[in-house]
Chains A and B, each alone.
Chain A
Amino acid sequence: MEYDTMMMDGESLGPSVKISAADDAYVNFQLSNVDLSFANSLRRVMLAEVPTVAIDLVEVEINTSVLADEFVAHRLGLIPLDSREIDQLNYTRDCDCDQSCGKCTVVLTLHAKCTGDDVMKVYARDLIVGIDRPNNHIGNPVITDPDGLGSLICKLRKGQEIKLSCIAKKGIAKEHAKWSPTSAVGFEYDPHNKLHHLDLWYEADAAEEWPASKNANFEEPPAEGEPFDYDAVPSKFYFEVESAGNIEPDNIIHEGIKEIQKKLAGLIHGLGENDGMDAGYDGPRSPDGMDGGAGWQDQGFTTPYGNTGGTTAWGGGGAATAYGTTPYGNSGSGGGW
């Protein structure tokens, strides 16, 4: 049967996007005429599966600062690094090299020593990025403050020194949050709670006590005494994508959708090479459905191990107990239990 996925539910409109605000750090938009499940997939994928680069390995040569090595290493990992055109960088696990190379890693080094009397602050701008990398911006520490300092790594007093080299790798936030391209993804639908997906707690009056969200202006408030529409489904989703600085916000969305498509392509590929059912082990089974069998006619007494009724691994099976009859007068011949 021919049908158009995008034209169902009496909707003559396909998915639509309306951008309400955007700059180089965030983008707020409304996504309408898609299903909640798709909008949520997009949110999940932007939050956790868009690849970026982040420092993953730190080799500490000298650290006489007050912070422990692992503490500094953790801080270094959290520094956002420029991850635009991340496609040019391989995952280390997929790379042809032995350990790491310029195609899959970016090397950053840091060497700072305080010689003055004042406390010295070491910033992300002090990281020196190695030249062996796919292009000349990937792996640069993201610096957005007006002074051009970047994130603070540590402070040094007179005589303290820090010298280390870092290996930045490509990764996703599902593995570690330092790889997240977003600092937050706002996601809201149905700001007037017409669908009753929320049950608002209140003292006297929910409408009074719960301030309307700013997205409430985009939708009609429910009319006085409006009956609850139990067929209604959410169709308008308010996203607020806030970049951590390593990828531009609109590219996060783009990359997010691309990531969904990559997953789908992988699955289409995986489905193609499916060589039928693998019944090699007593694993999970598809329910036997309508074919009779043990499936739905079974009343729940049987186990999947061919153990119909009564017989246990201890050799029970309708036989009498060691005492001939149980104390309850059951001779055991019934075989039921």
Chain B
Amino acid sequence: MPGKTKSRCADAEEVADTTMEDAPTSAQQPSDGMQEDQSGNNEEEDEKDEEEVEPQRVRILPGSSNTAASFEFLKEGHTMGNALRYIIMKNPDVEFCAYTIPHPSEDKMNIRIQTYDTTTASAALAKGLQDLEDLCDVVTDEFWTKRHDFMASK
């Protein structure tokens, strides 16, 4: 393999092949039908549990560290993504923040946050959410004041 170190080449012999069955077909959670063979006997229990279980809205993607994390948001899009990205980037403790919608037919939005050592990615996200809410409050107040002034001036 050009450009690869020798050790990696040597490893290649030992690493077992991934069979087609092991590889996931997509990033989606396997459906119940696919899991059936594994869960087998506690199937009844599962069915009860799965009733009305809200999927987790925010998830930290595996492979994240304290100061560099990717968050996966369900049922969010550009509306929250871009505004959050902006407000998180405003935080001087944040080194990098970006958002993406990995696939248009999945209702998911990912945010990547990398911070300096002064804070953590989760804290930066929490602060971003709070800041955006405060910004909304300011804009609402400002709008209503101006709206009342406008009505009064007519």
CB within 8 Å of B: which residues of A? 1, 3, 5-6, 8, 14-19, 22, 27, 29, 31, 34-35, 37-38, 40-42, 44-45, 49, 250, 253-254, 257-258, 260-261, 263-271, 273-279, 281-291, 299, 301, 303, 305-313, 315, 317-318, 334-337
Contact = CB atoms under 8 A, between A and B. Distances in A.
Chain A: interface secondary structure? loop
Given A264-B133, A313-B18, A336 B1 contact: yes
A264 B58 CA distance: 11
Nearest to A276: B60
B12 interface: yes
Contacts of A306: 15-16, 18
6 contacts: A35-B83, A40-B82, A271-B125, A277-B64, A284-B72, A336-B4
A251 B6 CA distance: 67
A335 B1 contact: yes
A274 B125 CA distance: 13
Contacts, number: 221
B28 to A, nearest CB: 8
A41 B79 contact: yes
Contacts of B1: 301, 309-310, 334-337
B101 interface: no
A276 B86 CA distance: 25
A243 B103 CA distance: 33
B19 A34 contact: no
B79 A335 contact: no
Contacts of A299: 3-4
A191 to B, nearest CB: 21
B107 to A, nearest CB: 10
B15 A271 contact: no
B65 interface: yes
A280 to B, nearest CB: 8
Contacts of B86: 35, 37-38
Contacts of B118: 1
Given A19-B150, A287-B63, A5 B90 contact: yes
Given A281-B29, A284-B72, A335-B12, A257 B83 contact: no
Contact of B80 (A1, A41, A307): A41
Interface residues of B, number: 78
B110 A305 contact: no
A93 to B, nearest CB: 12
Interface in B1-59: 1-4, 8-9, 11-13, 15-20, 22-24, 27-30, 56-59
A14 B9 contact: no
A257 B139 contact: yes
A250 B143 CA distance: 9
A267 B133 CA distance: 11
Contacts of A286: 60-64, 68-70, 112
Given A277-B62, A285-B62, A313-B20, A6 B57 contact: no
Contact of B138 (A15, A37, A263): A15
Contacts of A44: 78-79
B137 to A, nearest CB: 8
B9 A309 contact: yes
A115 B122 CA distance: 70
A311 B12 contact: yes
A277 B61 contact: yes
Given A6-B138, A313-B17, A313-B20, A254 B78 contact: no
A335 B90 CA distance: 48
Contacts of B22: 305
Contacts of A263: 76, 79-80
A230 B56 CA distance: 41
B139 A265 contact: no
Contact of A307 (B8, B15, B56, B140): B15
Contacts of A315: 17
A19 B153 CA distance: 11
B25 to A, nearest CB: 10
Given A282-B24, A336-B1, A15 B61 contact: no
Among A31, A38, A258, A279, which residue has the most Cβ atoms of chain B within 10 A? A38
Contacts of A278: 56, 59, 62
B15 A311 contact: yes
Given A6-B138, A274-B60, A317-B17, 18 more contacts: A1-B118, A5-B134, A15-B138, A19-B150, A27-B147, A258-B140, A263-B76, A264-B136, A271-B122, A274-B56, A278-B56, A282-B24, A283-B24, A285-B61, A305-B22, A309-B1, A318-B12, A336-B1
